[in-house]
Amino acid sequence: MKPKQEYSVKLDLFEGPLDLLLYLVTRAEVAIADIPVAAIAKQYLDYLDLIRELNIEIASEYLSMAATLTRLKAREVLGVEDDEVLEGAEDEIYTRQQLIEKLLEYKKYKEAAGSLRTYESERYGSFPRGKAEEVEVQDDEQQVSLGSVGIFDLISAFKRIVERAGREEQGQHSITPDTVKLDDRIERVLGVLQDQDEVPFEALFEDDMRRIVLVVTFMAILELVKMRKIAFRQEEVFGRIFVRSCIDLSD
C-alpha cells in the first residue's frame, strides 16, 4: 500500500537525471564508454518507481531521461545502428554514443565545479596584503546538505531495506491496520539517536518492517535532514551509512 499524499516531502536534494545516471554507472564499476544500457535503464526506472512511492516530486527531466533510456534499450534489442538517427533537436539523445558523450561532458563540468568549490573554501577568509576586502556570506538557510553522503546513497540504502523486508514478508499475512503518522516516526528516529553517538542507517527501520512504515520512516528522515537535526557519515564510497543527531542536548 502506498503512503497517503499528506506524507509528501519536497527537498532540493536532487540535481538532475545525469547525476543519477553517473551514480549508477560509478556504482556498477564500469567505464562510461562501456555503459550497459539495458541494465542501467532498469536500475534508473527502479529508482524512479521508489522515488514516486516516497511522494517526492520528480522533475520533468527525470521522466524525459526515462523515456530516452527506454528508447535506447529498444534500439539495442532491435539492433538499430547508431548512425540511424531520427530527426529532432540537436540536444536530444537518440543513440548510445550520444548518451556516452553527454555523460562524459557532464562529468567533466561536474568535476570542474567541484574543484572550484574546493578552491573557494580554501581561499575563504584569506586576503592579500593591503586593503581588507568585504566578504559576503551566503545565506544557506534554504539549502539542504547531506554532507559527503549523497541522496542517491540514501535511496540505495533504503532500497536494500525495502527489498530485504519484501523477502522476509513472503508467505506472511498481516491484518494490522496500516496507520502510520509522520510525526510518530520522527519521534522514533530521534529516540533511537538520543542516547547513542551514531547508529547504522538500517537501525532506524528495525522496529517495524511493514512497507508503509518503512516508507514513512524514510520520509521522517528526510524531514529531519531538512530541519538540520541529523547528519550522515559514510566510511567509504558506496559503503555503510551511519546516522547521528545534530541536536545539542546541553542547550
What are the sequence ranges of the domains in the chain? 1-125, 144-251
Residue segments in the chain with a per-residue pLDDT below the cut of 50: 1-10, 88-89, 121, 124-144
Q: Which grid cell is 215?
A: 516508507
pLDDT tens digits along 75-133? 887 877 665 555 544 557 888 899 999 999 999 988 887 666 555 545 544 444 444 33
Of 188, 234, 237, 232, which is closest to residue 208 (Cα–Cα)?
188
So what's the pLDDT on residue 249?
A: 54
Residues 176/182/183/187 CA torsion (nearest 10 deg): 80
So what's the pLDDT on residue 75?
A: 85
So what's the pLDDT on residue 91?
A: 59
pLDDT tens digits along 33-45? 999 999 999 999 9
So what's the pLDDT on residue 203?
A: 95
The superfamily (CATH) of domain 144-251 is: Structural maintenance of chromosome 1. Chain E (1.10.10.580)
So what's the pLDDT on residue 116?
A: 62
So what's the pLDDT on residue 139?
A: 39
* Phi, psi angles (nearest 5°) of residue 230: -135, 160
So what's the pLDDT on residue 157?
A: 92
So what's the pLDDT on residue 1?
A: 43
Q: DSSP secondary structure string, the chain?
A: -PPPGGG-B--TT---HHHHHHHHHHHTT--GGG--HHHHHHHHHHHHHHHHHTTBPPPHHHHHHHHHHHHHHHHHHHT--TT-PPS--TT---SHHHHHHHHHHHHHHHHHHHHHHHHHHHHTT---SSSPPP-PPP--TT----TTS-HHHHHHHHHHHHHHHHHHHTT----------HHHHHHHHHHHHHTSS-EEGGGGGTT---HHHHHHHHHHHHHHHHTT-EEEEESSTT--EEEEE---TT-
DSSP-based three-state secondary structure for 128: coil
